[in-house]
């Protein structure tokens, strides 16, 4: 292998994209990806969606076909952790005892599921959903008639709730806030999805925080701070993620709830880049610093990193976006809404398809589309353009969303 190796830590969406783009763009040096997991690099979204379906095969989609890495001369080292970075020597220390020099280092270590710390959290049957191994374990517990208690009504918790209900489980979701997906959407959308879940037999307890879990070797009962008790065979903890930044922190790279990177994915060390869930950067559309947990961000930061390593122009930043599918209903979001945003409804929730527009100073800042995709791309473009909307036109689903842009005053 040639010297000048780019060493990538993490074979998730960001790491694999960075490796692939380096080759596409003509990088001739070595490309080495190290990952602590032993599965071939795979897509994460299906883990809480298709993989849990009753008739699903025990396999989720791969990020690239199996022979890809060899074909592209990308060295993939699975089941190996990177333990330490020596920035002086430009070397990483691996769990197999070896050391690996790098020309450039890319940290794509993602995030880990936030752990529950209450008494009983360590009992068998209490689990998170982050890896393929987690998904397969979870799936084996979703047996018809079993009691599933889900902590957290975010995307993961709700996708699992839907899958568990479809498999005939008794599902209860405990949520500390007063509505589902509170952090990411408005109350219109929250309530719509809550009703949808309830119509599939799922029960919610809002304002409800788990205090401890009991059971004889295995979780059997979940207690909440207000004294309620829920019987459980499976407890799924979906309370958010934390950036996997220990490696970077220990190496003295600047971190603050995420590894800090610039618009090229560069960290505070000019030889070290980072991409994906693990990073925090300034959002070009809002000017604020944020950490984004979505595929779009992982892929576009990986592209920026690959371009910068090769000295090429970075791509235009893309509006962040996300999707979730629950009981077959699709919610697709572009941009990032804030609680203070003006909420404008487009279409009628009673029809099972509508959009919600989030306006900030009259401009479109974010959009949720529910049950349909017609407004998704136009919404994304309007957000990127930062133009003001005509509220009457924007609220009229009979007119194309793109038409609601106010002409920019000269």
Partner 1 sequence: MNNVINVIDREGEKHILEWEPDQSLMESLRDNDLPVMASCGGTASCATCHIFLDRDVVVSLGERSEDELELLVETECYDESSSRLSCQVRHDPSLNGLNVVLAPEE
Ligand X SMILES: Cc1cc2nc3c(=O)[nH]c(=O)nc-3n(C[C@H](O)[C@H](O)[C@H](O)COP(=O)(O)OP(=O)(O)OC[C@H]3O[C@@H](n4cnc5c(N)ncnc54)[C@H](O)[C@@H]3O)c2cc1C
Sequence-ordered alpha helix ranges (H) in 7-123: 13-24, 68-71
Closer residue to partner 1, CB minimum distance, 39 or 221: 39
User: Which two tokens mark 277?
Assistant: 């869930």
Nearest to 371, CA basis, from 349, 352, 398: 352
Count Cβ neighbours within 10 Å for each residue of 182-198 and write b for 16 or more, e otherwise: bebbbeebbebbbebbe
**What part of residues 50-69 is at the interface with partner 1 (CB under 8 A)?**
61, 64-65, 68
Of 353, 319, 355, the C-alpha closest to 335 is 319
The site for ligand X (CB under 6 A) is made up of 9-15, 34-37, 44-45, 47-48, 81-82, 108-111, 129-130, 156, 244, 247, 276-278, 293-296, 298, 322-324
Contact 169, 145 (CB under 8 A): yes
- Which residues contact residue 410 at a Cβ distance below 8 angstroms, ignoring those fewer than 6 apart? none
Q: How far is the CB of 178 from partner 1 (least distance, A)?
A: 29
How far apart are the C-alpha atoms of 392 and 344, rounded to whole Å?
Answer: 10
- Name the token pair of 110: 């993602």
| Shortest distance in whole angstroms from residue 64 CB to ligand X | 13
With CB under 5 to 8 Å by kind, the binding choice for 109 among partner 1, ligand X, none is: ligand X
| 45 binding partner 1? (CB under 8 A) | yes
Residue 264 interacts with, from partner 1, ligand X, none (CB under 5-8 Å by kind): none
- Residue whose CB is less far from partner 1, 204 or 376: 376
10 binds, among ligand X, partner 1, none (CB under 5 to 8 A by kind): ligand X
Q: Looking at beta carbons only, is 243 or 378 nearer to partner 1?
A: 378
Least separation in angstroms between residue 407's CB and ligand X is 34
Nearer to ligand X, 16 or 382 (CB): 16
Residue numbers 4-23 binding partner 1 by CB under 8 A: 20, 23
187-199 helix and 155-166 helix, angle to the nearest 10 degrees: 20
Q: Residue 385 CB, nearest distance to ligand X (Å)? A: 23
Residue 187 interface partner, choices partner 1, ligand X, none, CB cut-off 5-8 Å depending on type: none
Number of residues that bind partner 1 (CB under 8 A): 26
Q: Decide if residue 290 touches partner 1 (CB under 8 A).
A: no
CB of 182 to ligand X, least distance (A): 18
Partner that binds at residue 244, options ligand X, partner 1, none, CB closer than 5 to 8 Å by kind: ligand X
108-136 burial, b at 16+ Cβ within 10 Å, e below that, comes to bbbbbbeebeeebeebebbbbbbbbebbb
Cβ closer to partner 1: 282 or 374?
374
Q: What is the dihedral of CA 184, 186, 191, 194, to 10 degrees?
A: 0
Q: Which is nearer to ligand X, 12 or 378 (CB)?
A: 12
Q: How far apart are CA 387 and CA 383, in angstroms?
A: 7
- 199 by Cβ neighbours in 10 Å (0-12 / 13-18 / 19+) ranks as exposed
Question: Which contiguous run of DSSP H or E holds residue 380?
Answer: helix 376-385
Check if the beta carbon of residue 74 is closer than 8 Å to that of residue 31: yes
In whole angstroms, the minimum distance from the beta carbon of 111 to ligand X comes to 6
Cβ-contact 366, 337 below 8 angstroms: yes
Report the residue number, 109 or 208, with the smaller CB distance to ligand X: 109
For the bound state, the minimum distance from the C-beta of residue 247 to ligand X, rounded and expressed in Å, comes to: 5
Distance between CA atoms of 298 and 334, rounded to whole angstroms? Answer: 15
Interaction between residue 378 and partner 1 (CB under 8 A): yes
Q: Which of residues 303-322 bind partner 1 (CB under 8 A)?
A: 321
Binding positions for partner 1, 66-85, rule CB under 8 A: 68, 72
Instruction: Give the residues lining the site for partner 1 (CB under 8 A).
Output: 20, 23-24, 43, 45-46, 61, 64-65, 68, 72, 295-296, 299, 321, 323, 330, 332, 372-374, 376-378, 381, 402
């Amino acid at each position: 292998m040639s010297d000048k190796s780019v060493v990538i830590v993490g074979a998730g969406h960001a790491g694999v994209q960075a490796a692939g783009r380096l080759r596409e763009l003509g990088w001739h040096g070595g490309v080495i990806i190290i990952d602590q997991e032993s599965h071939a690099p795979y897509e994460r979204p299906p883990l809480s969606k298709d993989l849990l379906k009753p008739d699903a095969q025990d396999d989720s989609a791969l990020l690239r076909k199996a022979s890809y890495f060899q074909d592209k001369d990308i060295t993939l080292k699975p089941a190996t952790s990177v333990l330490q970075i020596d920035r002086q020597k430009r070397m990483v220390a691996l769990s197999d005892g070896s050391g690996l020099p790098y020309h450039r280092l890319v940290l794509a270590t993602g995030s880990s599921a936030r752990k529950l710390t209450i008494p009983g959290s360590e009992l068998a049957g209490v689990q998170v959903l982050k890896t393929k191994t987690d998904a397969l374990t979870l799936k084996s517990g979703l047996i018809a008639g079993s009691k599933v208690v889900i902590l957290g009504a975010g995307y993961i918790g709700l996708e699992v709730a839907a899958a568990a209900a479809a498999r005939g489980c008794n599902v209860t979701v405990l949520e500390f806030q007063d509505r589902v997906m509170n952090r990411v959407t408005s109350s219109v959308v929250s309530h719509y999805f809550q009703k949808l879940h309830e119509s599939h037999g799922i029960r919610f307890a809002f304002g409800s925080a788990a205090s401890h879990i009991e059971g004889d070797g295995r979780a059997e009962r979940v207690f909440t701070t207000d004294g309620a008790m829920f019987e459980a065979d499976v407890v799924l903890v979906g309370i958010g993620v934390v950036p996997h930044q220990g490696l970077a922190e220990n190496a003295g790279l600047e971190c603050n709830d995420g590894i800090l990177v610039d618009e090229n994915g560069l960290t505070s060390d000019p030889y070290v880049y980072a991409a994906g869930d693990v990073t925090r950067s300034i959002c070009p559309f809002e000017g604020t610093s944020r950490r984004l947990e979505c595929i779009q961000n992982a892929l576009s930061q990986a592209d920026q990193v690959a371009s910068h390593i090769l000295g090429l122009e970075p791509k235009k930043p893309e509006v962040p976006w996300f999707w979730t599918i629950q009981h077959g209903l699709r919610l697709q979001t572009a941009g990032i809404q804030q609680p203070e945003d003006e909420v404008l409804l487009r279409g009628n929730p009673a029809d099972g398809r509508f959009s919600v527009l989030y306006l900030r100073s009259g401009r479109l800042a974010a959009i949720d589309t529910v049950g349909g995709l017609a407004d998704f791309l136009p919404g994304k473009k309007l957000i990127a353009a930062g133009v003001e909307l005509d509220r009457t036109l924007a609220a009229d689903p009979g007119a194309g969303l793109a038409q609601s842009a106010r002409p920019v005053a000269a």
